[in-house]
Structure 1
Amino acid sequence: MIRLLKFVCWSILAVVCGLLLGLSGAYLYLSPSLPSVEALKSVQLQIPLRVYSSDGKLIAEFGEMRRSPIKFAEIPPQFIAALLSAEDDNFNSHFGVDPSSLVRAAGQLVTTGHIQTGGSTITMQVAKNYFLTSERSFSRKSNEILLALQIERQLTKDEILELYVNKIYLGNRAYGIEAAAQVYYGKSIKELSLAQMAMIAGLPKAPSRFNPLANPARAKERRDWILGRMYRLGKIDQAAYQAAVSEPINASYHVPTPEVNAPWIAEMARAEMVGRYGSEAYTEGFRVTTTVPSDLQEAANQAVMVGLASYDQRHGYRGPESRLPGKTHEAWVAELQRQRTLNGLDPAIVTQVGKEGVTVVTREGQDEQVAWDTMKWARPYINANSMGKLPAQPADVAQVGDLVRVQRQANGTLAFSQVPTAQGALVSLDPHDGAIKALVGGFAFEQSNYNRATQAKRQPGSSFKPFIYCAALDSGYTPASLVNDAPIVFVDDFLDKIWRPKNDTNTFLGPIRLREALYKSRNLVSIRVLQSLGVDHTIDYISRFGFNKQDLPRNLSLALGTATLTPMEIATGWSTFANGGFKVQPYLIAKVESRNGETLFTANPPRVPTSEQEQARMQAQQAVPPTLDAASSGSGLAGALQPAPSVPALAERVVDGRTTFILNSMLEDVIKKGTGRRALALNRADLAGKTGTTNDSKDAWFSGYNGDYVTTVWTGFDQPDTLGRREFGGTVALPIWMDYMGAALKGKPLNTQPEPEGIVSLRVDPVSGRAATASTPDAYFELFKSEDTPPSVDELGNGQAPGSPLPADEAAPIDLF
């Protein structure tokens, strides 16, 4: 008996020693290839890029992984109890490895021949998730065990749990428990009920199999099992258990819903961040704050949508998008599910046509009424210049099976509509530093993500003329200068070409003051002024506004706005008129923060001084080398945005402030008594602007400003085509501009340019353009630079048009080239 006992003891000792030697050998073999656990203390989880408005509202989120890391202290104790009950109820007592779980897993392998469970603890799963692959092999499991033992020695249990809950994949692109709570319930993990926490805790085992969206029955079974485990382990009492298991499955798919509809802004911010940071932009958890206030962006969205829809309905109804007669209700709903909503215009199919309107089925399968009053506009579209007769009844507009568009009204009813074929763009800038305040790149981003505000190069028409007039005012012209508005012919003897430009009205007014010529948009005056200045000289002058010379034609058609420019370029150039002569560059990103809230970048663009004193102070500060924000150090990101100098940069002056002041008064007249008179409805005395319409009305523009915002609106077709012979900048683009600026300036005080030194106001003879005498009839006051004041009528010289630098006789044919 003693001999047998000794044999057993020695055998046990030999087995133990063999195990120890085996484990030691495995450790010595595997340990050199094991990663350092220290890396877990500084691990950087992938977090998506998030873009916000200037007032902190979410615009968009970019990144494959939805993740919102959470600190251990923020995790509800009930969730921890649910998670440990489901995954590792011995977590607080083991040292990284649970021998009983490993033995159970080994037993399953021996009896079934397959690996069914890995026997992993939460610590082992942390080791696998952060350092290893999902390969099922003994070597990988050995590495997992060794890493788990090291992790337990170097990290606390709380730190391990925090790493685990932020890393695990929980289905539907949700990584981590906070992201999962948002995806499945639209709430933070701290706001979930016990049953909902148990549901989230059941996902790590098999996110697809126990997903409450894909398999609600199986998910409930898993949830209830976890709740039972919690009750048996004493984590919850019977009342809490009964209440939780009786709670219905109420998960639904929630995605981060943008609080501001600004898809083109989001795409611009995304592209800029990727350009700066590369692929890390999608994973480093950057928080980008843009310069765009949510209220201005929503006002721009509404203005463009309403303006394009109004234009579209003025030209009639083009018919249904498709016809599906004879289909079942279910087939109609299935077809609608394949259609997209475009800027609030929902697809619907007509199911009944009555005397008071039509009945439509919506994408949700609901039958709703569309009133006849909302359909009366739908005259048949023939072409851009003509329509059929007014419909007399709903049957004249729609038939059963028509796929149409409807729009939900404020009172909940549906209105008959259609998707506009014309497009538009709006850009609004702060003229003092170029900050983008609102931007719309088309009717609907879902329809086309092409950004017409920044990418579409179109002819600006007469909205470009102020740049010609600005050059004239800096070259000796005055608002009182008289220029002949008369026919002119340009001949090219070599090409046998003749150009006979004309005014929009095909009329001629004779000698006309420069001020009047601008607000009446006289083409022939602009051409004569450009001819006097010289094309090359004028292009050199205009390029100071930021335009590329290659986009400016080197001929006299430049005076009519035949350059090819984007709305953003036009708005940027107009900023110089609005801010008193300074050049600014548009920018979108105001601030970039790291995942930890550290400020990595703050925009500091060149700014326009608000006074001469401020300008002197800024110039003095710029003489001192600026220091960079300490946030620039240690980011470790290639190509990262660098913090801006703390000292504001002074914008470059490119035009005499007196010139812009005089031009501003001329552009105010465009609204007071010119082609922009509609804007008088805004009841503001601080607005200036100019319409623009190209040949055949293919492009319609309005650019305008006050001291707060400069805004440019373009409308037209992507493939240039006429908007209609009765459509102009004042009928299509100006109403959009008015809707936006009316909302943007509501409640704001008047903001006009202060009068600079060197401006003189004199009475002028309207006939001669010279200084008036006391007896001059109909004399009026005009603004001049002090060195450009006109002489009296008695001093009028021969051979020169009154008040004009131009030769007196310009009616003869002139070579264009």
Structure 2
Amino acid sequence: MRFLKFLFWSLIALLSAPILGLSGVALYLSPALPDVETLRELELQTPLRIYSTDHKLIAEFGEMRRFPVNFDQVPSDFINALLAAEDDNFLNHHGVDPKGLLRAATELAQSGQIQTGGSTITMQVAKNYFLTSERVFSRKLNEILLALQIERNLSKQEIFELYINKIYLGNRAYGVEAAAQVYYGKSINELPLADLAMIAGLPKAPSRFNPLINPERAKIRRDWILQRMLNLGHIDQVAYQEAVTSPIRARNHGANPEMEAPYVAEMARLEMIERYGERAYTDGFHVYTSVSSELQSYANRALREGLIEYDQRHGYRGPEDRHPDADPANWQTILAPYRALGGLLPALVTQVDEEQVEIRLRNGNTGTIAWEAMRWARPYLNANSMGPTPRRPADVLKPGDVIRVIANEDGGYRLSQVPSAQAALVVVSPQDGSIQALVGGFSFLQSNYNRATQARRQPGSSFKPFLYSAALDHGYTPATIVNDAPLVFVDDYMNSVWRPQNSGGDFLGPIRLREALYRSRNLVSIRLMQEIGVDESLTYIERFGFPRSDLPRNLSASLGTPELTPLQIAQGYAVIANGGYKVDPWLIERIEDRHGQIIDFAKPVVTPEALAAHLERIQRYTSAPLALVEEPNTVLLAEQTVDPRTTYLLTSMLKDVITRGTAARARALQRPDLAGKTGTTNEQKDAWFAGYNGDYASAVWVGFDQPSTLGRREFGGTAALPIWMRFMAAALDGKPEHSQPVPQGVLSVRIDPLTGRAARPGSNGAFLEVFKEEDAPPPWDELDSGAYPVSDSMAPLELF
């Protein structure tokens, strides 16, 4: 009897010892364990995403690609595939699977090394969210205790959801939705069974079973999972057979942007970093910009085609590299360093024939360049001259040349080259200042320097409208006669003489202000600033949004010597286009958190024309009744800094720049609502065109990053205007005319073109001119009553 009692208590002790031991360990470790309730509120690290205003993805920033999904968004086939691969008893155990732990312990005893951890999905959640990957027993004990706590506090669906959104699956993909996007370019709920099984095989070893790196091993893992699903009754034989015979379809889809606007994305990224710091990369912000995907595509194409057109006018600079003795079979090695830039594809010349050239592209495709597609390629000598016209393909290209080509719609290719000049195009809305499209250079991959916002260059004559606006507000009219005659300025202290000239070197004498603007007469601009005063002129020009610090205090400012960015010029023209309201450029339209809740949105000042739409937008974002929008007439309306009659008169004059002036080729657009001004600096180092209608105010700059002449025949009207025309033609296609309406206080008077006075009945060449009511010339029949003092008919004829 004593022996039986001893045996009984010994068994009790043997059974109790491990329980007491584990209990002691649990009591010891539990106080240091984290609270699993925090899993309910945990925010996973999610990248920053930049979108267009029409919800097209522009770019993604952040180390981890992650798209968190809910349990209900995951197809049942994937759930079954993952459970078959990782934890087929997940729905039955309470966080720990004793069979799995026993199997792991047996493998350790037999091999002396840890083979598998026996971890359930719940234990992996505990490790991924709270612990390290260090392979020690203390971590495993903590993992078990946390798993038990997680099972008591969270449902199986919540645990599964935490697991599939956290796991790393290779190629920067974190979570199953990111993996579906990276490997297949689709959402997880769009994938067939075979692809779902492929993703389910990745958690065990994302690099070893990666279908991009090890497709054969990945297929073995996939087929094993499919067999497990069949054995567990999750799929039938037909589904298994179809999936197991499916080919490997995975390929790297990267961030997969839906539109090309890298300069816009970089601007938005920098603004988000300024607002939120490093959180911008991890908190899953969705940033919607004001940029339209359609307008941006027009801007991209217009700038690139315009730059290529300019570049080819000046000849061919030769191949980017030469490999005359290279074996064409080594094309991959030769072309590997070259990337496509701005739609220009790198290619290797493999054979030169009498009428065409054969090429090999970087992707392995072959093609041909017909003679007609390369005969433009006269040798480049300098900006002003080229070599002889080539007579055959061999005069241009040789086997082994690394060149750039453009794909034609017919399957052939055209010879091209990466332009040496650069350009910028920016488009803003005159009604609220929103940036509608922006291109900062030929290719962001070539240079991420944003010339639309960072390049400060002299705008030349495209700056003159701001000075002419000052003149119209200081008593001048479009019909005022000003003398286009020589001026000489002597600086006794500097022992220097300044003799400004017109671009053609000629002088037209007395000329109406309207004609002086559309002919871009420099001497008239200088006289206007002289008459108004330098300080008074610059103070007035500040009304268009230019900081005074950017405006040099000298007469040369009248010719466009201030150093300004294309975005600043576009902003200034927007003030003219909208009737004198100062609007400020802005890019970020709204910011949403990872759950799609709006946390901030743009609150720009707007013109009266845009006020109703803007109030509706605020109501939509805040769910506040319009009546509760505080003081809309003072809070939201832009300040009117310029008399609307002045902008109307100025627009009338700038329309003549297109109909009869330096931008006459823009008549081809057949849009009476277009107005603008060319600009060219000394030695043709900068070419500009800025123009607008009521919908868009835009500016184009063309030049070299290191200032150098574009060529003696390159001006704003030849280098920049074609880019602007390409964009506006596409952007305004099908849209009605939109100009500033005639404001009150504007009169039309029939005038004599020689005097600027009211014309007598029957006068030859008389035409209608617009005036402010108080500046309109008296009727012709008041001449004899002294209404026209002779001294006021024109500005003084200063010759020197």
TM-score when scaled to structure 2? 0.95
- CA 1:372–1:708 in structure 2 vs 1: closer, same or farther (change >3 Å)? same
Residue equivalent to 2:76: 77
CA distance in 2, matches of 1:724, 1:204: 60
**Map of 1:357-368 to 2, 5 A cutoff?**
357-368=356-367
Q: What is the one-letter code of the residue matched to 1:800? A: S
Whether 1:58 aligns to 2:46 is no
Residue equivalent to 2:798: 810
Whether 1:671 aligns to 2:670 is no
Residue equivalent to 1:635: none
Residue equivalent to 2:349: 350
Checking the alignment, whether the CA contact within 8 Å between 1:771 and 1:793 is kept in structure 2 is no
Q: What is the one-letter code of the residue matched to 2:666? A: A
Residue equivalent to 2:691: 704
Whether 1:783 aligns to 2:782 is no
- CA 1:121–1:719 in structure 2 vs 1: closer, same or farther (change >3 Å)? same
Shift of residue 185, structure 1, vs aligned partner: 1.6
698, 715, 727: which one aligns with 2:714: 727
Secondary structure of 2:351 counterpart = strand
Whether 1:213 aligns to 2:212 is yes
Whether 1:556 aligns to 2:555 is yes
Checking the alignment, whether the CA contact within 8 Å between 1:764 and 1:782 is kept in structure 2 is yes
Whether 1:657 aligns to 2:648 is no
Shift of residue 645, structure 1, vs aligned partner: 7.3
Query: Which segment drifts farther, 137-146 or 761-770?
Result: 761-770
**Map of 1:16-55 to 2, 5 A cutoff?**
16-55=15-54
- CA 1:601–1:363 in structure 2 vs 1: closer, same or farther (change >3 Å)? same
Residue equivalent to 2:275: 276
CA distance in 1, matches of 2:369, 2:742: 56
CA distance in 2, matches of 1:631, 1:761: 47
Q: What is the one-letter code of the residue matched to 1:669? A: D
Checking the alignment, whether the CA contact within 8 Å between 1:599 and 1:631 is kept in structure 2 is no
Secondary structure of 1:610 counterpart = helix
Checking the alignment, whether the CA contact within 8 Å between 1:600 and 1:631 is kept in structure 2 is no
Residue equivalent to 1:772: 759
Shift of residue 51, structure 1, vs aligned partner: 1.3
Shift of residue 589, structure 1, vs aligned partner: 1.2
CA distance in 1, matches of 2:668, 2:436: 23
Residue equivalent to 2:464: 465
Whether 1:713 aligns to 2:700 is yes
Query: Which segment drifts farther, 688-697 or 601-610?
Result: 601-610
Shift of residue 796, structure 1, vs aligned partner: 6.9
CA distance in 2, matches of 1:310, 1:645: 52
CA distance in 2, matches of 1:333, 1:325: 16
**Map of 1:87-106 to 2, 5 A cutoff?**
87-106=86-105
Q: What is the one-letter code of the residue matched to 2:550? A: D
Residue equivalent to 1:683: 670
Secondary structure of 1:230 counterpart = helix
Secondary structure of 1:668 counterpart = helix
Unaligned runs of 5+ in 2: none
Whether 1:751 aligns to 2:751 is no
Secondary structure of 2:230 counterpart = helix
Secondary structure of 2:173 counterpart = coil
Shift of residue 631, structure 1, vs aligned partner: 9.5
CA RMSD of aligned residues (A): 2.1
Residue equivalent to 1:331: 330
Query: Which segment drifts farther, 214-223 or 712-721?
Result: 214-223
CA distance in 2, matches of 1:571, 1:652: 18
Shift of residue 766, structure 1, vs aligned partner: 2.4
Checking the alignment, whether the CA contact within 8 Å between 2:460 and 2:559 is kept in structure 1 is yes
Residue equivalent to 1:581: 580
CA distance in 1, matches of 2:598, 2:504: 57
Q: What is the one-letter code of the residue matched to 2:400? A: G
Residue equivalent to 2:528: 529
Cα distance per residue 1:284-327 (max 9 Å; x no partner): 22221111111111011110011000001111001111111111
Shift of residue 271, structure 1, vs aligned partner: 1.2
Residue equivalent to 1:381: 380
Checking the alignment, whether the CA contact within 8 Å between 1:604 and 1:645 is kept in structure 2 is no
Secondary structure of 2:608 counterpart = coil
CA distance in 2, matches of 1:654, 1:250: 61
Shift of residue 56, structure 1, vs aligned partner: 1.5
Whether 1:113 aligns to 2:108 is no
Checking the alignment, whether the CA contact within 8 Å between 1:48 and 1:286 is kept in structure 2 is yes
Q: What is the one-letter code of the residue matched to 1:491? A: V
Q: What is the one-letter code of the residue matched to 1:483? A: V
Shift of residue 242, structure 1, vs aligned partner: 2.7
Residue equivalent to 1:639: none
Checking the alignment, whether the CA contact within 8 Å between 1:425 and 1:440 is kept in structure 2 is yes
CA distance in 1, matches of 2:419, 2:621: 48
Checking the alignment, whether the CA contact within 8 Å between 1:770 and 1:793 is kept in structure 2 is no
CA distance in 2, matches of 1:280, 1:337: 36
- CA 1:210–1:307 in structure 2 vs 1: closer, same or farther (change >3 Å)? same
Matched residues, percent identical? 61
Residue equivalent to 2:287: 288
**Map of 1:416-495 to 2, 5 A cutoff?**
416-495=415-494
Q: What is the one-letter code of the residue matched to 2:708? A: D
Checking the alignment, whether the CA contact within 8 Å between 1:127 and 1:148 is kept in structure 2 is yes
Residue equivalent to 1:640: none
CA distance in 2, matches of 1:196, 1:776: 84
CA distance in 2, matches of 1:105, 1:255: 37
Secondary structure of 1:407 counterpart = strand
Q: What is the one-letter code of the residue matched to 1:420? A: P
CA distance in 1, matches of 2:798, 2:436: 45
Checking the alignment, whether the CA contact within 8 Å between 1:82 and 1:226 is kept in structure 2 is yes
Shift of residue 627, structure 1, vs aligned partner: 10
Query: Which segment drifts farther, 127-136 or 595-604?
Result: 595-604
Shift of residue 113, structure 1, vs aligned partner: 2.0
Checking the alignment, whether the CA contact within 8 Å between 2:459 and 2:562 is kept in structure 1 is yes
Residue equivalent to 1:595: 594
Whether 1:800 aligns to 2:791 is yes
Aligned residues: 789
- CA 1:380–1:560 in structure 2 vs 1: closer, same or farther (change >3 Å)? same
- CA 1:168–1:631 in structure 2 vs 1: closer, same or farther (change >3 Å)? farther
- CA 1:645–1:325 in structure 2 vs 1: closer, same or farther (change >3 Å)? farther
Shift of residue 158, structure 1, vs aligned partner: 0.9
Shift of residue 551, structure 1, vs aligned partner: 1.7
Q: What is the one-letter code of the residue matched to 2:459? A: P
CA distance in 2, matches of 1:644, 1:365: 60
Checking the alignment, whether the CA contact within 8 Å between 1:59 and 1:258 is kept in structure 2 is yes
CA distance in 2, matches of 1:36, 1:744: 57
Checking the alignment, whether the CA contact within 8 Å between 1:715 and 1:733 is kept in structure 2 is yes
**Map of 1:592-631 to 2, 5 A cutoff?**
592-610=591-609
Query: Which segment drifts farther, 116-125 or 763-772?
Result: 763-772
Cα distance per residue 1:685-737 (max 9 Å; x no partner): 11111000000100000001111111111001111111111111000111110
Residue equivalent to 1:263: 262
Cα distance per residue 1:747-777 (max 9 Å; x no partner): 0111111111111222223232223333654
Shift of residue 52, structure 1, vs aligned partner: 1.4
Whether 1:193 aligns to 2:192 is yes
CA distance in 1, matches of 2:371, 2:413: 11
CA distance in 1, matches of 2:630, 2:57: 28
Checking the alignment, whether the CA contact within 8 Å between 1:425 and 1:442 is kept in structure 2 is yes
Query: Which segment drifts farther, 529-538 or 231-240?
Result: 231-240
Shift of residue 108, structure 1, vs aligned partner: 2.0
Secondary structure of 2:405 counterpart = strand
Checking the alignment, whether the CA contact within 8 Å between 1:602 and 1:644 is kept in structure 2 is no
CA distance in 1, matches of 2:570, 2:480: 28
- CA 1:155–1:501 in structure 2 vs 1: closer, same or farther (change >3 Å)? same
Cα distance per residue 1:331-361 (max 9 Å; x no partner): 3321212111001101111111101111111
Checking the alignment, whether the CA contact within 8 Å between 2:378 and 2:389 is kept in structure 1 is yes
Secondary structure of 2:135 counterpart = coil
